[in-house]
A = this chain, B = another copy of it.
Amino acid sequence: MPTVKPRTLSGFMELLPAPQRQMERMLDTLRRTYALYGFTPLDTPLMEAAEVLLAKGGGETEKQIYRFSKGDAELALRFDLTVPLAKYVALHSHELSFPFRRYQIGKVYRGERAQRGRFREFYQADIDIIGDGALSIVNEAEIPAIIYRTFSALGLQRFHIRVNNRKILNGFYETLGLAERSGDIMRTVDKLDKIGPDKVRAILTDDFSIAAENVHKILDFLSGSEEAAEAFRGRNPLFDAGLDELQTVVRYLDSFGVPADHFKVDLTIARGLDYYTGTVYETTLDDYPEIGSVCSGGRYDNLAAYYTDRVLPGVGISIGLTRLFYILQEKGLLNPDLPAAPADVLVLPMTEDLSPAIALATMFRENGVRVQLYCEGGKFKKKVAYADKLRIPYAVFMGEDEVRGGVVTCKDMRSGEQTALSAADTLERIKEGLARRESGRIILG
């Protein structure tokens, strides 16, 4: 008698096998692409001492954090991958070489109010480059290339990488005598896409008491291009430094392999966090602006001030993978034609002695083909229906006739086409078919 009704916690993504295979494909692609840029994989604990994890303190996320005690230890689950990185680098700094480039793809935990498309457990896929005291601007220029290649490798075609530099913004606000309102202004302007210029104007004027003339100048400046910003050069050293950095990023785009039509300087981008001090990045899907940025980040001046005296400037980006996957699934942008079955071939033995069928399965596996042996009882029709339901591309039958004739009967489950060839020829045919099926994009759009 069952005693407990099984359920999965709300806000926790638990996928069925076919979508899970799509997710695994995305994870593989991220790992492979990040590695191409010299990032090394890290895997830090999901749990940290509460006092260590919350060293930076405060913030909106604090009440969302899963905290608890075990014995006399106060513990907490990580809510991002940046704080564990800061801890890792501070703790192991003498064993690492700088610049230190790491990627980490892992689950993080935030006990948010559950709602559609919001997750309490979700994957982040982060890369960061950490310098020791200094870090070349070329690292910032490289980030758009990594974003471009990552999303291209995922199959996405219609997207833009949008870049700005916070020094430009801070410098510009200084020239207006608004240095101290810089944070407020940026957080407000960051909402331009969402709430529109009228509301932004109202907030800046009413809530932050910024003179209408300055609000006008701000919105005018932000709607301009990199070239328009050039006209402001020479008035503020911070502004000029930011513009130089931005121009370096733009200059090397082509060598880094980023097509101009996938890149845009966008002076309205600021990112919410004051943490960022230089180049900032967002990535938007051309056909789905309402999703917002699917890959964001920026340059920061000091990763781990609360753990170490060592000054560790860095630059990083993050993909909220669980949310992205959810959205792609919802919008039907995950390619349904890529194989999602647990096996490439279902081998159906039809002889008393199973040895020939098993030996065939072994030979296929030795050649890299994923095989399931199906030896359960039941009617022939039920067995073929199993392959069909799981969308296994090929069914292979080994009966007395096949064993005697030294052939293998193989059915392409999609076309229905059936062949009786030697095991080696069947293998070749299957491998060709699989390569064709695997060649599609993961993300359509």
Contacts and interface: CB of A to CB of B under 8 A. Distances in A.
Given A35-B370, A255-B362, A4 B52 contact: yes
Contact of A12 (B45, B255, B343, B371): B45
Contacts of A386: 97
B6 A121 contact: no
A354 B255 contact: yes
Given A43-B23, A134-B376, A375-B139, A38 B2 contact: no
Interface stretch (A64-72, A178-186, A414-422): A64-72
A231 interface: no
B6 A36 contact: no
Contact of A6 (B66, B90, B138): B90
Interface string A314-351: 00000000000000000000000000001100100000
A256 B371 CA distance: 12
Interface string A363-396: 0011011111111110000000010011000000
A400 interface: no
A221 interface: no
Contacts of A309: 1-2
Contact of A7 (B1, B91, B121, B254): B91
Interface string A6-24: 1111001111110011011
Contacts of A68: 66-69
A36 B370 contact: yes
Contacts of A8: 44-45, 48, 87, 91
Q: Which of A17, A91, A370 has the most chain B CB atoms closer than 10 A to its own CB?
A: A17
B376 A99 contact: yes
A75 B256 CA distance: 47
B37 A371 contact: yes
A62 interface: no
A145 B308 CA distance: 51
A41 interface: yes
B308 A2 contact: yes
Given A43-B23, A365-B37, A52 B6 contact: yes
Contact of A256 (B4, B69, B362): B362
Contact of A136 (B107, B136, B375): B375
Contacts of A370: 35-38
Contacts of A368: 36
A9 B48 contact: yes
A403 interface: no
Contacts of A45: 8-9, 12-14, 121
A45 B71 CA distance: 24
A226 to B, nearest CB: 19
Q: Which of A252, A358, A374, A389 has the most chain B CB atoms closer than 10 A to its own CB?
A: A358
A245 B47 CA distance: 44
A9 B75 contact: yes
A88 interface: yes
A300 interface: no
Contacts of A354: 138, 252, 255
A342 B370 CA distance: 30
A3 interface: yes
A350 B243 CA distance: 24
Interface of A: 1-9, 12-17, 20-21, 23-24, 35-49, 51-52, 55, 66-71, 73, 75, 86-88, 90-92, 95-97, 99, 101-102, 107, 109, 111, 121, 131, 134-136, 138-139, 142, 145, 149, 252, 254-257, 304-309, 342-343, 346, 354-356, 358-359, 362, 365-366, 368-377, 386, 389-390
Given A66-B68, A68-B68, 16 more contacts: A1-B309, A2-B308, A6-B86, A7-B49, A9-B73, A16-B95, A17-B40, A17-B102, A23-B43, A37-B365, A38-B342, A38-B371, A46-B46, A47-B121, A97-B386, A145-B362
The 6 A-B residue pairs with the shortest CB-CB distance in the complex, in nearest-first order? A38-B372, A68-B68, A40-B342, A38-B343, A4-B55, A255-B358
